[in-house]
């Protein structure tokens, strides 16, 4: 009986021996020397946060962007072209002519002049016959016709279209040109300022000469009156009765008359 028990115990021991050896081998692998532990630089954090984070894998778009040459950009076909510097266009205000300072580029006079093709031919200067008694060099303003005549020798006269005083502001008389001015300033009389204020329009007490000035490019002052023969920035008013008594001319026409009429010339308004 005892002999039989020993045989049984030996058989059991031999059967479990391979399992013990395999468990020991497994334990050796499990409890072997671990790989070195990488820690982050912040050792004040909890131990679990000190483990260095796993390196993030860059996306495809990020890798493609990192390979682009500096200063270049890719178009839709993945080709590269140089980025051209952006040129800001100058403001319109810096491209306009400053009438007072004259510090900008010269004016294109052709662009500023009135388009003659759009003007009624009857309003353009012309040479006409004259059989009156006025001496050559005399200026005659016919407010009914709304025309100005500069008497020439040999029975001729240069005729210009003009704007005249509106109803209630007509006048007539004989004067001399006492002064001439290029690009005149404008000081509207107090009566005009008060009159326009009642209409809701505020006039300045003074306006320097320039393209926006209603006195236009030239002015011929008549005697000691407030009346003048002058240009205008409202060419549409030529041939009409819309002024406060002054004789208006197109800027081109008053510049021509300015060169032909000297100070002291006689002016007759009828």
Please give the positions annotated as active site: 230, 246
The answer to whether 247 touches 148, Cβ cutoff 8 Å, is yes
Give me the phi and psi of 141, to 5 degrees please: -110, 115
How far from 31 is each of 34, 38, 45, CA to CA, in Å? 8, 19, 28
Find all residues with CB under 8 Å of 135, minimum gap 6, and list them. 151, 266
Residue 52 corresponds to which tokens in the numbers above? 């260095």
The answer to whether 151 touches 137, Cβ cutoff 8 Å, is yes
In 96-171, which residue ranges form alpha helices assigned H by DSSP?
Answer: 109-112
How far is the C-alpha of 39 from the C-alpha of 64, rounded, in Å?
31
How far is the C-alpha of 183 from the C-alpha of 239, rounded, in Å?
22
């Amino acid at each position: 009986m005892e002999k039989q028990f020993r045989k049984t115990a030996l058989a059991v021991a031999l059967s479990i021996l391979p399992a013990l050896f395999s468990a020991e081998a497994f334990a050796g692998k499990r409890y072997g020397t671990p790989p070195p532990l990488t820690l982050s630089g912040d050792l004040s954090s909890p131990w679990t946060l000190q483990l260095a984070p796993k390196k993030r894998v860059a996306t495809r778009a990020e890798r493609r962007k990192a390979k682009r040459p500096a200063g270049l950009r890719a178009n839709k076909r993945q080709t590269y072209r140089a980025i051209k510097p952006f040129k800001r266009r100058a403001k319109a205000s810096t491209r306009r002519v400053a009438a007072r300072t004259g510090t900008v580029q010269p004016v294109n006079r052709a662009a500023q002049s009135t388009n003659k093709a759009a003007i009624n031919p009857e309003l353009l200067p012309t040479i006409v016959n004259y059989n009156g008694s006025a001496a050559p060099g005399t200026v005659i303003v016919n407010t009914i016709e709304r025309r100005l005549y500069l008497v020439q020798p040999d029975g001729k006269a240069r005729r210009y279209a003009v704007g005249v005083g509106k109803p209630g502001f007509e006048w007539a008389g004989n004067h001399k040109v006492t002064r001439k001015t290029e690009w005149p300033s404008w000081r509207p009389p107090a009566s005009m300022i008060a009159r326009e204020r009642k209409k809701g329009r505020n006039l300045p007490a003074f306006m320097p000469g320039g393209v926006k000035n209603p006195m236009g490019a030239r002015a011929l002052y008549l005697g000691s009156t407030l009346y003048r023969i002058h240009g205008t920035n409202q060419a549409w008013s030529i041939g009409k009765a819309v002024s406060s008594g002054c004789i208006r001319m197109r800027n081109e026409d008053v510049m021509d008359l300015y060169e032909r009429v000297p100070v002291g010339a006689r002016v007759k308004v009828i």
